[in-house]
Chains A and B, each alone.
Chain A
Amino acid sequence: MVFPEDISAVGHHVDDLFYLALGLTTVAFVLVIVILAYFLIRYRSRPGHKALYTHGNTAKAFGLTVFLALVVFVGIDINLAIHDHHAWEATWGTVPVGDVLRVEIQPQQFAWNIRYAGKDGKFATEDDILTINELHIPVNKPVIVALQSKDVIHSFFLPNFRVKQDAVPGMVTSLTFKAVKKGEYDIACAEHCGLGHYRMRGMLTVEEEDDFNQWLDAKSLQNTPDMTWGWTWGEGK
C-alpha cells in the first residue's frame, strides 16, 4: 500500500499518473543499470585485455544520440505531458456546477479557521458558522474551499484526496474536491509555518448530507458572530 486510502472521486488520476511515471522511469533505470553492470563485468581490466581507442565522434554514435534524444523526448516527455494534461482536466480543470458546498478557510499559526455561509448563503455576514480545525462535508457533493492566510503561508493538504493548495496572505486561492466515502480523515498543513507547524492538524468528517445539515444546525445555535475575517465569495480582501 503505497498511497494512503483514496476517498475522492478523481484522486485515482493522480495515482495513475504516478504509476505511469514509475513505469517509464523504471524501464529507463533498469536499462541503464543493466548496461552499466554488463560493461563493468565485460570490460573489467585484466591481463591481456586492452581498451578500444575511440572518442566516439562517429556517425554511429551521433545517430545513437539523436535516436535516444527522440525516444526520451517522445516516449517520456510528450507521453507524460499528455497524460498530465488529461489528469489535470479531470481534477483541477473541472469546475463543479450546480449543487456545491462552499467553505472559506483562514489558516493562522497554528490552526484552521473555518467558515460556512450560514442560512443566507452569503459569506462575511453575521449568521456565518465558524469552527476551528473541524471541517465537516457531505459525501458525494463537490466542495469548494477558498483560502486566505491570516499571517504566513500555510498549505491546505488532504492526503486522502491527493490535493493541496497554499494559503497565501493577501490573496485568495481555492481548491475543489468531492468525497465518495464517509469517515474521519486528516487535514494537514504542508508548508512550514513556524514551530507549531507539525501540530497544525485539522479533522475532516465526511458524512451523509442529513447528518451534515444536523451538525451545521447544531453549530449555528452555539454560533457567536465573528466579523474579523471572511470575505464576499469570489472577492477576498
Chain B
Amino acid sequence: MHNKTSKKSFIRKYIFSTDHKVIAIQYLMVGLLFLAGGGMMAYVIRMQVANPWQPIPFIGQILFPQTGGIVMPEVYPMLFTMHGGIMVFFAVTPILLGALGNYTLPLEIGAEDMAFPRLNMQSFWFLFLGSVLIIVSFFVPQGAAGTGWTLYTPLSSSLKVNPGWGVDLFILGLALDAVSILMGGVNYLTTFFKMRAKGMKLTQAPLTSWGVVFASVLNTLWLPLVAAALFMVLSDRRLGTAFFVAGPLAPVAGGQVLLFQHLFWGFGHPEVYIIILPVWGLVGDLLSVFSRKPAFGYKATVGCMFTICSLSGIVWGHHMFTSGMNPLVGKAFMFLTITISVPTAIFFLNWLGTLWKGSIRFTVPMLFSLGVMFVFAIGGLTGLFNAVQTLDIYIHDTYVVVGHFHYTLAASVLLGVFAFVYFWFPKMFGREMNQALGKIHFVLTFIFVNLVFFTMMYVGLHGHMRRIADPTAYEFLKPVQHLNVFMGKMTGLLVLTQFIFFFNFVYSLFFGKKAGENPWDAAGVVWTTSSPPPEHNYNTPPQIYCGPHEYGIENNGKDYVAQTNPKAAELTGAKNTQSQVDSGDTLPWLNIAKTGMWSFLISEIMLFTGLIGSYIVLRLGSASWPNPSEILNTTLLGINTFILICSSLTLVLGVHHAHAGNQKELRKYLLLTILLGSAFLGIKIFDYHHMWEHGFTMGGSLFGSCYYLLTGFHGLHVLSGIIVMLYLWVAAGNKEFCTVHSSRIEASGLYWHFIDLIWVILFAILCLL
C-alpha cells in the first residue's frame, strides 16, 4: 500500500508537504539561511568592537549605506540582540530539532512518518511566519529589538525607554516559533513512544533519537514558562500593566523586575541543553559508527541525559548571582550547577570508551564529532568557573561568559550541525558530499572557532564587559584591545571558511557522487532503505532484531549486523529474547491522539503555571491587596463557573455516544457544549465591560492586571476550545465519522475538561481567596 507513489502536485509535494523528510529539508534551508545571517551579524559585531566607529570592511557599505558603512550606537544593540535571538531560535533550533529531529527520528525508529503529519507541516509554517516577523522587525521605524536576546525588563517592557515595534515583533516572532517547537515536540514524543518499528525496544533506539526526545521533553516543560513571561512583557508594553516594571518608570506599583529573570532563566538554562542534547545523541551514534564499535555504556549514556535534563530545571539561579538575590539561595544554585559535572564526566567516559580499541575511520562526520568532543570539553569545564558564585560575580556579563557559552552553544553546535549535514546528506539527497573539501572545511573551522572563542574568554578575564559597542571608552581595557582586533580578523576568516561548505553543499546536490543506500557501513535500520527513502520511508514496515550499534562483528564479510538482520541475536551472542517481541508501542493503553494531547496539555499546564505562579509571587510581594469580593461580581462569576462545569458534563455524554457510534446524539451534545461555552464567554464579556465601566481596568491596579491577564488567557482557551468543537460538530455530520475519529473526539474532550479545570482554579484564587 505504501510503495505506491501518489501523484501529487508540485506544491503538495515540495511546499505544503506532510512528508517529514521534505519538512526536514525545509527546516534545514531556513535554519542555514538564518545561520548565515546570524554569522554575518557576528562578523559586524566583531569588526565594530575591533575598530569602533570605523566602516565595516567589505559589507559595511552594503548594510549601512546611509552612514558610509559605520555601525551607529543604536544599531549595535540590535546586532547583538538579533544575532543571539536568531542563532538560538531561528538557526540552531530549526536545524537541530526541526531538521535533524524531523529527518532522523521517524527513519531511525523505522516509522513511516510522524504521528501527526499535518501538524508537522503546520509546525514548519509557524516557524516560517515567525521568521517573517523577525525579518520585518529590522525594517520598522526604530528598528529591531535592541534589548539583548534575554529581553531583561524593564529595558524591554517599558515603552518609555523602548518605544518602537522591534521588541513586540521579536516577541511575536518568538511566540510563533514557540508554537512551532511545541507542536514539533508533540510529534516527536508521540512518534517515539508509540510508533517504533516492531521489535524495537526503547533501549534499541539510536542515541540521536533519545537526544531529540529529551530536548522535546525540556521544551514541553519549560518553553511555556518563558512564553508566559513574554506575554506579560507584551502586556506591560501595550496594555499599560506593570508586571515587570518598578520604580519611577512604573505606571502602577507592585511590579517585580527580577521575577522576569527567574521565568526567563527557568527556560533559558534548559534551553542550552535543548540545543546540545540532539548533538550529544548524534555524536554518540557517530563515534560508534566510525569506531566500528557499539556505543559504550549505552544505558548509562541515556541515564546521564536524563539526569542532566532533570538537573537543568533547577539551576537557573546561576545566571542571577549579581542580581541581588539571597547569597544562601545562590549557594544552593551553585552547588546544584556544579553537580552537573558528574553526569557530564560519565558522558565523556562513555565517548572515550566507544573509541577505545575501536577501528577508527576519520571520515568528515567523524572529524566533526571529534571536534565536538574537544570544544564541548572546553565549554563544559569553563562552565564550572561561571558556577562558582564568588568568581562569577567578577566574570558575569563579561566576555568570559560569552566565550564559554559559545563553546557550548556555538562551537559544539556548529560542529554538530556540520556533522549532521555531512553524515545525512547522502540519505537526504541521494548524493555524497565531497570528502576532501569537507576535511578542509573541518580543519579551518575548528582552528578559527577556537581562536575566536578562546581569546574571547581571555579578554573577559581582563574584565571586558559584553555588549559594549566601544571598549576603547575604558582605560582598563586598553591592554586587550589588540586582541579584539585579532578576533575580528579571525571571525572574518571563519565566515569565509563557510563558503567552502556552501560550495560543497550546492555542488554535491547536483554533481555529487551517487550514494547507495548505506554509504557509511552503518547498522541502523534507516540504512536499509533507499537514498533518498521512498515516500513512506520503507517499502515494507521493517522488523527490528537488535540495537543500532552492532559493529565489530564478523558477518558475511561485513563488520556489522544490521538492525533488520533476523539472525542478529545469534550473531551478537545476545540472550534469546525473541519470546517477547517489543511492539514498538510503549504506551499501549493510550491511543496516539490522546498521547499527543497529553503532551500538549503538559505544556498548557506549564503556561498556566507560569501565569498563576507570577500572580502568586506578585500578590505575596505586594504591600496591600484589595479584597476581591469588593471588586468582583462573585455571584455572577460563580454562575459562570457552574455553566462551564455543566459543559464538561455534556461533553462527557457526547464522548460516550461517540464510543457507542451514535452520531446524532454526539452532535446534539457537542452543540450543547458549544452553547454552554459560548454562554460562558458571553457572560464574561458582559462582566468585563461592566467592571471596566466601574473603573476596574487592566492598567489601573496590579490586581486588575492579574485578573484580566489570567482570565483573558483562559477566555482565549475557551474560544479555541469552542472552535475545535465546532469543527468536530461539522465533521460529525459526515457518516462514519465516529468509527474513524472517536479517539480525536476523546482527545478534544480532554482539552475541554482541562480548560474547565483551569477556570475552577482561577475562580478560587482570584475571586475567593
Say whether B148 contacts A192, CB under 8 Å: yes
Say whether B293 contacts A57, CB under 8 Å: no
**Among A44, A148, A198, contact of B360 (Cβ-Cβ < 8 Å):** A44
Task: Check if B35 is an interface residue, CB within 8 A of chain A.
Answer: no
Residue of B nearest to A80 (CB): B388
**In the docked arrangement, what's the CA distance between A11 and B77, Å?**
31
**In the docked arrangement, what's the CA distance between A10 and B250, Å?**
38
Interface string of B339-356 (1 = CB under 8 A from A): 101100110111011111
Residue of B nearest to A149 (CB): B247
Say whether A56 contacts B296, CB under 8 Å: yes
Task: Check if B735 is an interface residue, CB within 8 A of chain A.
Answer: no
Interface string of A56-84 (1 = CB under 8 A from B): 11000100110011001100110011001
Chain B positions 286-310 with a Cβ under 8 Å from a chain A Cβ: 291-300
**Among B76, B154, B370, B466, contact of A195 (Cβ-Cβ < 8 Å):** B76
Say whether A68 contacts B349, CB under 8 Å: yes
Say whether A198 contacts B468, CB under 8 Å: yes
- Residues of chain B within 8 A (CB-CB) of A56 are 294, 296-297, 350, 353-354
Task: Check if B636 is an interface residue, CB within 8 A of chain A.
Answer: no
Known contacts being A148-B247, A170-B257, A194-B77, is A52 close to B357, with CB within 8 Å? yes
Say whether B341 contacts A77, CB under 8 Å: yes
- Residues of chain A within 8 A (CB-CB) of B258 are 168, 171
Chain B positions 221-277 with a Cβ under 8 Å from a chain A Cβ: 245-250, 255-258
**Max chain B Cβ within 10 angstroms of own Cβ: one of A39, A44, A149:** A39
Interface residue stretch chosen among A29-37, A130-138, A206-214: A29-37
Known contacts being A109-B161, A188-B465, is A45 close to B360, with CB within 8 Å? yes
Task: Check if B11 is an interface residue, CB within 8 A of chain A.
Answer: no
Say whether B373 contacts A36, CB under 8 Å: yes
**In the docked arrangement, what's the CA distance between A57 and B574, Å?**
13
Say whether A151 contacts B247, CB under 8 Å: yes
Known contacts being A45-B360, A51-B292, is A72 close to B377, with CB within 8 Å? no
**Among B146, B370, B458, contact of A2 (Cβ-Cβ < 8 Å):** B458
Say whether A171 contacts B388, CB under 8 Å: no
Say whether B474 contacts A186, CB under 8 Å: yes
Say whether A169 contacts B292, CB under 8 Å: no
**Among A55, A149, A164, A199, contact of B473 (Cβ-Cβ < 8 Å):** A199
- Residues of chain B within 8 A (CB-CB) of A33 are 374, 377
- Residues of chain B within 8 A (CB-CB) of A189 are 465
**In the docked arrangement, what's the CA distance between A53 and B552, Å?**
5
Task: Check if B563 is an interface residue, CB within 8 A of chain A.
Answer: no
**In the docked arrangement, what's the CA distance between A107 and B352, Å?**
51
Say whether A193 contacts B462, CB under 8 Å: no
Q: How far is the CB of B750 from chain A (nearest CB, A)?
A: 40
- Residues of chain A within 8 A (CB-CB) of B152 are 152-153, 191-192
- Residues of chain B within 8 A (CB-CB) of A140 are none
Task: Check if B475 is an interface residue, CB within 8 A of chain A.
Answer: yes
Say whether A4 contacts B462, CB under 8 Å: yes
Q: How many A-B pairs with Cβ below 8 Å?
A: 285
Task: Check if B553 is an interface residue, CB within 8 A of chain A.
Answer: yes
Interface string of A119-162 (1 = CB under 8 A from B): 00000000000000000000000000000111111010101101
**In the docked arrangement, what's the CA distance between A185 and B475, Å?**
8
**In the docked arrangement, what's the CA distance between A199 and B152, Å?**
20
Task: Check if B428 is an interface residue, CB within 8 A of chain A.
Answer: no
Known contacts being A54-B293, A186-B475, A198-B73, is A88 close to B155, with CB within 8 Å? no
**In the docked arrangement, what's the CA distance between A131 and B453, Å?**
39
Task: Check if A190 is an interface residue, CB within 8 A of chain B.
Answer: yes
Say whether A65 contacts B300, CB under 8 Å: yes
Interface string of B140-172 (1 = CB under 8 A from A): 000000111000101100101110000000000
**In the docked arrangement, what's the CA distance between A211 and B342, Å?**
54
Task: Check if B338 is an interface residue, CB within 8 A of chain A.
Answer: yes
Residue tally, chain B, CB below 8 Å to A: 100
Say whether A170 contacts B338, CB under 8 Å: no
- Residues of chain B within 8 A (CB-CB) of A170 are 246-247, 250, 255-257
Task: Check if B381 is an interface residue, CB within 8 A of chain A.
Answer: yes
Task: Check if B361 is an interface residue, CB within 8 A of chain A.
Answer: yes
Residue of B nearest to A167 (CB): B324
- Residues of chain A within 8 A (CB-CB) of B465 are 157, 188-190
Residue of B nearest to A171 (CB): B324
Interface string of B83-120 (1 = CB under 8 A from A): 00000000000000000000000000000000000000
**Among A65, A69, A160, contact of B476 (Cβ-Cβ < 8 Å):** A160
**In the docked arrangement, what's the CA distance between A103 and B378, Å?**
41
- Residues of chain B within 8 A (CB-CB) of A176 are none
Say whether A28 contacts B381, CB under 8 Å: yes
Say whether A169 contacts B297, CB under 8 Å: no
Residue of A nearest to B156 (CB): A152
Task: Check if B486 is an interface residue, CB within 8 A of chain A.
Answer: no
Q: How far is the CB of B359 from chain A (nearest CB, A)?
A: 4
Residue tally, chain A, CB below 8 Å to B: 88
**In the docked arrangement, what's the CA distance between A87 and B154, Å?**
33
Say whether A55 contacts B294, CB under 8 Å: yes
Residue of A nearest to B381 (CB): A25
**In the docked arrangement, what's the CA distance between A84 and B360, Å?**
42
Residue of A nearest to B461 (CB): A2
Chain A positions 178-192 with a Cβ under 8 Å from a chain B Cβ: 184-186, 188-192
Q: How far is the CB of B515 from chain A (nearest CB, A)?
A: 21
**In the docked arrangement, what's the CA distance between A28 and B300, Å?**
20
**In the docked arrangement, what's the CA distance between A163 and B398, Å?**
12
- Residues of chain B within 8 A (CB-CB) of A152 are 152, 154-155, 158, 161, 249
- Residues of chain B within 8 A (CB-CB) of A81 are 334-335, 338
- Residues of chain A within 8 A (CB-CB) of B158 are 151-152
Q: How far is the CB of A21 from chain B (nearest CB, A)?
A: 5
- Residues of chain A within 8 A (CB-CB) of B461 are 2-3, 18
Say whether B148 contacts A150, CB under 8 Å: no
Interface residue stretch chosen among B191-199, B389-397, B579-587: B389-397
**Among A32, A44, A64, A165, contact of B322 (Cβ-Cβ < 8 Å):** A165
Q: How far is the CB of B426 from chain A (nearest CB, A)?
A: 20
**In the docked arrangement, what's the CA distance between A28 and B342, Å?**
12
Residue of B nearest to A229 (CB): B248
**In the docked arrangement, what's the CA distance between A55 and B384, Å?**
31
Known contacts being A21-B384, A50-B552, A192-B147, is A39 close to B352, with CB within 8 Å? yes
- Residues of chain A within 8 A (CB-CB) of B160 are 151
**In the docked arrangement, what's the CA distance between A8 and B331, Å?**
24
Known contacts being A92-B390, A197-B77, is A40 close to B360, with CB within 8 Å? yes
Enumerate the 7 nearest inter-chain pairs by beta-carbon distance, A residue then B residue, closest first: A170-B246, A169-B247, A159-B463, A56-B296, A173-B324, A53-B552, A198-B468
Extra inter-chain contacts (13) besides given A159-B463, A168-B323, CB under 8 Å: A32-B352, A39-B358, A54-B357, A84-B389, A84-B391, A153-B154, A155-B397, A166-B324, A168-B257, A169-B246, A170-B250, A170-B257, A192-B77
> Which A residues form the contact surface with B (CB < 8 A)?
1-4, 13-14, 17-18, 21-22, 24-25, 28-29, 32-33, 35-36, 39-40, 43-46, 49-57, 61, 64-65, 68-69, 72-73, 76-77, 80-81, 84-85, 87-88, 91-93, 109, 148-153, 155, 157, 159-160, 162-166, 168-171, 173, 184-186, 188-199, 201
What are 25 A-to-B residue pairs whose CB atoms are below 8 Å? A2-B462, A21-B388, A36-B374, A40-B360, A43-B355, A45-B360, A51-B552, A54-B357, A73-B341, A88-B331, A92-B393, A93-B327, A155-B322, A164-B396, A169-B154, A170-B257, A185-B476, A192-B467, A194-B161, A195-B76, A195-B77, A198-B76, A198-B468, A198-B471, A201-B473
